[in-house]
Amino acid sequence: MLGLSVLSLALAGSLVAAPAALAHFITPKSGGSPNANQIASLYKIILYIAAVVFVLVEGALFYSILKFRAKKGAVAAQIHGNTRLEIGWTMGAALILVVITVVTFVKLPSIINAPNSDPNGFLSATLNQPTPPNGNKLTICVQGRQYIWRYVYGNGCVNGTFAARLPYSFQEMVVPTNTTVVLAIQSNDVVHSWWVPSLGGKVDAVPGYTTYTWFKIPHPGLFHGQCAELCGRSHAAMTALVRAVPPGQYSAWLIQQKAAIDDANTQVTQLRQTLTSENQL
Amino acid sequence: MSVIAPPERTLRPVPQLTAHEVTAPRQTKRWIDWVTTTDHKKIGIMYLVLTFVFFMLGGVEALLMRVQLSVPDNTLLSGQHYNQLLTMHGTTMVFLFVVPVMAGFGNYFVPLMIGARDMAFPRLNAMSFWLLLFGGIVFYATLFYQPPEAGWWSYPPLSSIQFSPSGGQDAWIFLIHLTGISSLLGAINFYVTIVNMRAPGMTWGRLPLFVWAILVYAVLLIIALPPVAAAVTMLLTDRHFGTHFFDPTDHGSPVLWQHLFWFFGHPEVYIMVLPGFGIISEVIPVYSRKPIFGYKAIAASTAVIAFLATLVWAHHMFASPIPIVVMGFFMLSSFLIGIPTGVKIFNWIATLWRGSIVTSAALYFAVGFIAIFVIGGITGIFLATFPVDWQLNDTYFVVAHFHYTIIGGAVFPVFAGLYYWFPKITGRMLNEKLGKASFWVMFIGFNMTFFVQHALGLSGMPRRIYTYAPGLGWSAYNMISTIGSFILGLGVLLTVANVVRNYKHGKLAGPDPWKGNTLEWFTTSPPPANNFDTIPRVRSVEPMRDIRRQVERQTGMTQKTGGSEQFARARSS
C-alpha cells in the first residue's frame, strides 16, 4: 500500500505543483490569441479547484485503507449512514459546480466575442459572424478537404460570387497581426476539424454547414495546427500552419500571391491552348 | 457456554443443498451440454469467457497502435491499417467486452443474489448469448476481407459509401444490430427477473446494490439501443438504397447522425460503468466487515445518474455546429452527473472508514478503481466546460479521460468481481498473491499509459492520428505511454494465468469463503443447477449475514468463513 500512496502523491504533485517548465503540459496551449489565453485561464481556475478535490478525496481514501486495516481485536463500526453528512457532501459537490458554472459564463464573452482590430491592423468590413463591435475584421474562408486545408482570403469568400477571383493558398495561412481575423470554416467532403492550439479552440468543418471562429495575433509568429477529426487514411498528414506578419507585409504577400496565381493560371491556359491545338487534349 | 434455546424456525444453510443435488447420468457430450444450455450460470460463464477473449483481442489491437505511436514517423502501420485497428479496438471494447461482460456477471449472479432459480426467460437468455457470439464473428470476419476504418463512432460522410466503400462498414452495422438485439433481449430478461423473482421479503429497499445496478443498466439499454439501431439502419439505407439522411449534398445532415449516435453513446458509458459501481458496492462492505454506508443514497444515485445520462449526449459535440445556449445546457447537465457520482465515491470511502479492512486482491482492485475513477471524474469536469472542451476535445486528453473512466470504472471492477466471485463460480480460490501482483502491475502500467496522455493532449496531439512528426514535444510521452501499455498488458496476463492455473487446481473455496452479505453465498460453490433447495426469507439488505448470525446463535460456534467449508462440493468433473 505504501507504493500506492507514493504514486498518488506523485500524481498529486504533478497536478498541484505547476513549474513553468511544465506549463505546456499541464495547461492548454495559449499565447497566440486572446481567446486561447482566456480558455487557458479558465482551465487553470478549474485545475486549482480540481487539485484540491483530488487531494482531499484520494487522501481520505488512502488514509482509510492504511488506518483501518483488519487488526487483532479491531471491530468494524456498524454504521449504516449519516443523513446530515450525506446531504452535506452532496451540497458541497453542487456548490463547487455552481462556482465553475459562474466562472465559465463570466469568461465566456471574452472567448466567443471577437474584439476590435487595433487601429494599425489590416482593416476591412464584412457581414459574417462573429463581428467585432466596430465591424472591422478580415475574413478568411477555410475549406477542409481530404487531406489539405485551403484558404481563400478576403470578404465575399463565403458567398462565393467573387470567391473564384480571390487569392488563395494551401496548408499555410498568412495573416496580419493586430487584426481580428474571422474564419469561415467549410468542408468539401467529410467532417474535418480546424484546430491551431495557440489560436483558440477547435471548430468542426462539417459539409453542409459553415462554422466560424476568430483569432487576433499580437505579434508576428508561426503557429502549428492539425485536423482534429478523423477524416480518412491520411488524417495525420492534414496539418495547418498559420504565419502572422505585420499588416504591411500581409498586403504585399496578398498582391504577390494574387500575381502568382494569375501567372500560373495564364500558363495553364496557354498550355491548354497549345495542347488543344496539337490535338493532345 | 450457554446455548440459547433454538427458535421455532430453524435454518440449516448448506447441508440440505448437498443432499438435494441431482446428477442425472450424462447422455450427451459435454460440449452439447454447453451449446444447448439454458442455465443462467452456464450462460454467464460463456459470456465471461467469450468477452474475455474479445478483451484480449481488443488489447492486442491497442498494443499494436501503441507500438505504432511509440516513435515519431513510424512506418510499422499504414494510415489504413491504423484506422482499421482503432475502429476494431473501440468497437470490440465497447460492444464485445465491457457491455456484455457485465451481462455475464449479471447472468450468473442476479438470480443467485435475489434467491431465484434461473432468469425469467431462460431460452431468451441463451439467445442473447448466441447473438453476441454471432455479432463478434460477423465483425471479426472482416479481417479476411477489409475491416471498417471509420471509427467506432462512424461519422458520415466518412462512413458513407463514397468514402468507405468496403463491406467492412456494413459488417460494423450488422454487428451493432446483432449485439444490440442481444443486449436488448438480455435487458428485458434482467428487468423481468429482478421485478418478479425476488426472494420473499426482498423489498426494493433490500435489493443488493449490484442488482440495483443491473436493473438500471437494463433500463438504460432499453432506452439507448433503439436510437442507435435506427441510426445504423439509416446509415445502411444511405449506403445501399439511395436515401440521404446524412448526405449533405442532398439536404441530409451529418450532424443528425452525431445526435443519434451520441444519444446512444453517452448512456452507453453509464451502461458500462454502473454495473461496475454495483460490483464495488458489493465488494467494499464485505471486505470492510461493515454495512454499506448510505444504501439508499447509492441506490438512488444509480437511478439519478441513469436519468441524467440521457440528457448529456451533445457534450461529445461541442466543436460541431450547435448553438452556444445548447452547449450551455449540455454543460450544466454534464456537471449535474458529477454530483451523484461524487456521492457514490464518498459513500464508498465512508464504508471503508472505521472498518476492519481485509486486504484481499478483490479489495485491491476495488480501491484501485476508486483511486483511478476519481481522476477520470475530475477530468470530466474540464471536458464538460465547453469553452475548455474546444481545446481538449478530440485530443489525447479525451483518450486519457475515458480510459480513466472505463478502465477505472469498468475493467478494475470486473477484475474485483472476478477475484470476489471466482470461488463461487468454480468452487476454487484464485491465488491471492498473484492477484495482488496482477493488481500492482496493472495499476502502475495503467497510470503510466494514460496519465501522460493528458499532457499529450494539452500539448496539442489530436486523437486518431497514425503518426506524427518529431520535434513537437510528443515523442517522450508517447514512448512512456507505450511502455506503460505493455506493463498493463502483463498485469492482465498475470490474472489470466491465475485463472487458468486455479480453475482446476486452486484451493477449495467452500460456500462462503469471504463471509459474504448476499444470497449467492448461501448455496454451494459452484451452485447446483437449481441454485437453492430452500429460499430463505430476506429480512435485511445483508441476508447471508443474518443467516450466519443465526447459525452462530444456534450452534454457539463462531464460524470461520460463514461455516460449512466441510460441505464444499468437489467439482463434479
pLDDT in tens, B310-357: 999 999 999 999 999 999 999 999 999 999 999 999 999 999 999 999
Of A53, A76, A230, the CB nearest to B158: A230
For A85, A89, B339, B357, B540, the CA distances from A82, given in Å and listed in that order, are 5, 11, 17, 20, 18
pLDDT of residue B29: 82
When pLDDT is averaged across residues A126-154 and rounded to a whole number, the result is 81
Look at strands A239-245 and A221-226 and give their pairing: antiparallel
The residue segments making up the domain with residue B207 are: 37-508
Phi, psi for residue B104 in degrees, rounded to 5: -65, -55
Alpha helix ranges (H) inside B141-253: 167-196, 209-240
pLDDT tens, chain B, 573 aa long: 444 544 444 444 443 333 355 666 667 788 888 999 999 999 999 999 999 999 999 999 999 999 999 999 999 999 999 999 999 999 999 999 999 999 999 999 999 999 999 999 999 999 999 999 999 999 999 999 999 999 999 999 999 999 999 999 999 999 999 999 999 999 999 999 999 999 999 999 999 999 999 999 999 999 999 999 999 999 999 999 999 999 999 899 999 999 999 999 999 999 999 999 999 999 999 999 999 999 999 999 999 999 999 999 999 999 999 999 999 999 999 999 999 999 999 999 999 999 999 999 999 999 999 999 999 999 999 999 999 999 999 999 999 999 999 999 899 999 999 999 999 999 999 999 999 999 999 999 999 999 999 999 999 999 999 999 998 999 999 999 999 999 999 999 999 999 999 999 999 998 889 999 999 999 888 998 889 888 888 999 999 988 888 887 777 666 554 333 333 333 333
Cα dihedral across residues B534, B535, B539, B544: positive or negative: positive
pLDDT of residue A23: 55
Interface test with A, best of B68, B84, B296, B353 (most A CBs within 10 A): B353
Q: Which helix (H) or strand (E) holds B423?
A: helix B412-426
A156 pLDDT tier (thresholds 50, 70, 90): confident
pLDDT of residue A129: 61
Domain with CATH 2.60.40.420 in chain A: 138-277
Name the average pLDDT for chain A.
Answer: 85
pLDDT of residue B561: 47
Could B391 and A36 be called an inter-chain contact, meaning their C-beta atoms sit closer than 8 Å?
yes
- Res A278 pLDDT > 90: no
- Res A125 pLDDT > 50: no
Q: Cα–Cα–Cα angle for B487, A7, B374, nearest 5°? A: 95
Check if the beta carbon of residue B70 is closer than 8 Å to that of residue B105.
no
Distance CA B384, CA B327 (A): 9
- Res A224 pLDDT > 70: yes
Q: How far is B336 from chain A (nearest CA, A)?
A: 8
* CATH number given to A138-277: 2.60.40.420
pLDDT of residue A79: 86
More confident residue, A187 or A123: A187
pLDDT of residue A100: 95
* B177 included as an active-site residue: no
pLDDT of residue B558: 60
Q: Say what the alpha-carbon torsion angle B374, A195, A124, A143 is, to the nearest 10 degrees.
A: -140
Query: Strand locations in B412-546, DSSP E?
Result: none
ipTM above 0.90, yes or no: no
Check if the beta carbon of residue A229 is closer than 8 Å to that of residue B394.
yes
Query: What radius of gyration do chain A's Cα atoms show?
Result: 27
When pLDDT is averaged across residues A114-138 and rounded to a whole number, the result is 67
Domain count of the fold of chain B: 1
Q: Say what the alpha-carbon torsion angle B238, B244, B248, B254 is, to the nearest 10 degrees.
A: -60
pLDDT in tens, A90-122: 999 999 999 999 999 999 988 988 888 877 666
Could A111 and B387 be called an inter-chain contact, meaning their C-beta atoms sit closer than 8 Å?
yes
For B496, B509, B565, the CA distances from B428, given in Å and listed in that order, are 15, 5, 12
Beta bridge partners, B330, equal none
Distance CA A103, CA A92 (A): 17
Contacts of B467 (CB under 8 A, 6+ apart): A236, B68, B69, B72, B73, B74, B75, B79, B82
* B26 included as an active-site residue: no
pLDDT in tens, B365-387: 999 999 999 999 999 999 999 99
Look at strands A172-176 and A239-245 and give their pairing: parallel
pLDDT of residue B565: 36
Task: Using alpha carbons, select from B379, B437, B435 the residue that is nearest to residue B403.
Answer: B379
- B3 located within any domain: no
Q: Please, what's the largest Cα pairwise distance for chain B?
A: 88
pLDDT in tens, A63-83: 999 999 888 777 888 888 899
A15 pLDDT tier (thresholds 50, 70, 90): very low
Q: What would the DSSP string read from start to end of chain A?
A: -HHHHHHHHHHHHHHH---GGGHHHHS---SSSHHHHHHHHHHHHHHHHHHHHHHHHHHHHHHHHHHTB--TT---------HHHHHHHHHHHHHHHHHHHHHHHHHHHHHHSPPPPPTTS---B-SPSS--TT-B-EEEEEEEETTEEEEEESTTTTT-TTGGGS-EEESEEEEETTSEEEEEEEESSS-EEE--GGG---EEE-TT--EEEEEE-SS-EEEEEE--S--STTGGG-EEEEEEE-HHHHHHHHHHHHHHHHHHHHHHHHHHHHHHHTT--
pLDDT of residue B20: 54
* B560 included as an active-site residue: no
Question: Residue B438 maps to which CATH number?
Answer: 1.20.210.10
- A-chain residues within 8 Å CB-CB of B342? 89-90, 93
Nearest CA in chain B to A28: B458
Check if the beta carbon of residue B531 is closer than 8 Å to that of residue B112.
yes
Contact status of B331 with chain A (Cβ, < 8 Å):
yes
Distance CA A36, CA A22 (A): 18
pLDDT of residue A279: 81
Check if the beta carbon of residue B511 is closer than 8 Å to that of residue B562.
yes
* B266 included as an active-site residue: yes
